Amino acid sequence: MDFRSRQEMEAVRAEVRAVLSSVLPADWGGSGLLPMDVLPEHMGLARQLDMALAERGLLAPSFPPEYGGRGMGPYAHYALLEELGYHLAPRLTTIAVDLVGPVLLLYGSEEQRRQHLTRIAREGTIWSQGFSEPQAGSDLTSLQTTARRRDGCYVINGQKIWTSMAHQAEWIILLARTGPPESRGRGLSLFLVPAKAPGITISPIVDMTGAHMLNQVFFEDVEVPAENLVGEENRGWVYATTLLQHERGDAILVGQFRRLLDDLRSLLQSRYGRGKAPAAVRHALAQAEVELEVGRLLNLRVVDMAARGLPMDMEASVCKLFVSESFQRFTHVACAILGLWGLAREGKGSVLGGRVPYYLMASVPTTIIAGTSEVQRMIIATRGLGLPRS
């Protein structure tokens, strides 16, 4: 693996920075921590940014040019995402570009690619991911939503939960059971479902930061044309695991981590004077710097494997586990360093735009989303280290 920053990475960083500075206000302090968690008052800006990136083929840069992308390689794509994270850019197309795109490129029909990838890359179509259910999160293969074949279509019945952005989405990538109830992973199929189809009801879940990104989605006799099935019936678990591996890259979080560390360091320098912060504070920031660098290198290992066409499994889990837990720890450290001074989310006493107390809460889901830390450890132990499951 080549640890040096490549020319292509530097070039894309410069290009993205130029786009971001042309759209985001100079004092931009971000919307939600998760880039797809865009506050209603920032939706217009997020859309403007999507269009500015789309004009340059940078909205879905890894898609092939015939689908509106640039065919950008994994290293440059990583640099782009890290840059978006550093500048706290809102990103409504996270699920569409990072999850739906790779799955359709690998397993979708040519018609599905033409219809969906081009629109994602050029218009920023918003997608949501309908996998988790009230009784099936970590144990996803036990999910109960059914899709029954009837007269050239599938009829969907069931319930999804924690469906990010379902209320804003045009499409849902849905995992449903087409096999018998006991078929587990062998009886699941993946579907492309219009989010506004008759029979779909979306109900909001407001999280502890006060934001509405999450939803419950109910399906009652929802008819989906048979051509919206991805790949083969009952092979959905294979496609879903590909999608989940793509969900475990953490380039954006690395960028956000870097930004918080940089901003905190600048604040402390102005407060104490250069090199004069208490030793405990200096040590805490040094520790964070080490963890951030390790997290960045773990990401680059995954990127390098992708660039060489190697399948990844445990490596994506190691990366996701380490970066999310390090970032969470750092939000606690930052809060402790700032003390009461840093607890105000807004108003006169707040510092760094109230980001630290907000991140303290908003980073909690980073060790749940895309598979909890326990699930990542289980993958590393079993599929990585070859240990028995129980």
> How near is the Cβ of 32 to ligand FAD at its closest, in Å?
10
Helix (H, G, I), strand (E, B) or coil at 153: strand
Stretch 141-180: interaction string toward ligand FAD, x if CB under 6 A:
---------------------xxx----------------
Q: Which of 252, 267 has the CB closer to ligand FAD?
A: 252
Q: Which of 372, 381, 382, 384 binds ligand FAD (CB under 6 A)?
A: 372
Give the closest residue to 325 by CA, choosing from 233, 250, 388.
250
Residue 246: both structure tokens together:
């793509």
- Quick check: 374 binds ligand FAD (CB under 6 A)? yes
Q: Do strands 127-130 and 171-177 pair parallel, antiparallel, or not at all (unpaired)?
A: parallel
Q: What is the distance between the alpha carbons of residues 109 and 231, in angstroms, rounded to a whole number?
A: 7
Q: Which of 62, 132, 168, 326 binds ligand FAD (CB under 6 A)?
A: 132
Whole-angstrom distance, CA of residue 87 vs CA of residue 33: 12
Residue 40's nearest CA partner among 98, 87, 90 is: 90
As measured in angstroms, the least distance from the Cβ of 303 to ligand FAD is 23
CB of 202 to ligand FAD, least distance (A): 12
DSSP string, 164-216: TTTTT-SEEEEEEE-S-GGGGGGGEEEEEEETT-TTEEEEEEE-TTS-EEEEE
Q: How far is the CB of 165 from ligand FAD (least distance, A)?
A: 7
Tell me how far, at minimum, the Cβ of 278 lies from ligand FAD, in Å: 35
In this structure, the number of other CB atoms found within 10 A of the CB of residue 198 comes to 9
Q: Establish if 365 lies at the interface with ligand FAD (CB under 6 A).
A: yes
Residue 383 CB, nearest distance to ligand FAD (Å)? 14
Q: Which of 15, 247, 291, 315 is catalytic?
A: 247
Residues 89-128 vs ligand FAD: string with x where CB under 6 A? ---------------------------------------x
Would you say 197 or 369 has its CB closer to ligand FAD?
A: 369
Q: Please count the other Cβ atoms lying within 10 Å of the Cβ belonging to residue 262.
A: 11
User: Segment contacting ligand FAD (CB under 6 A): 80-88, 228-236, 339-347, 368-376?
Assistant: 368-376
Q: Give every CB contact of residue 193 below 8 A, 6+ residues apart in sequence.
A: 130, 156, 171, 172, 173, 174, 200, 222, 224, 228
Task: Give the residue, chosen from 127, 131, 322, 359, that forms a contact with ligand FAD under the rule CB under 6 A.
Answer: 131
Footprint (CB under 6 A) of ligand FAD, residues 284-313: none
Q: Give SS3 for 219.
A: strand
Nearer to ligand FAD, 84 or 100 (CB): 100
3-state class percentages of the chain: helix first, strand second, coil last, to nearest 5: 55, 15, 30
The closest residue (CB) to ligand FAD is 137
CA angle 76, 369, 20 (to 5 degrees): 35
Does residue 236 bind ligand FAD (CB under 6 A)?
no
Is 55 noted as a catalytic residue in this protein? Answer: no
From 171, 138, 142, 139, select the one nearest 158 (Cα to Cα): 142
Q: Which residues bind ligand FAD (CB under 6 A)?
A: 128-132, 137-138, 162-164, 214, 365, 368-369, 371-372, 374-375, 378
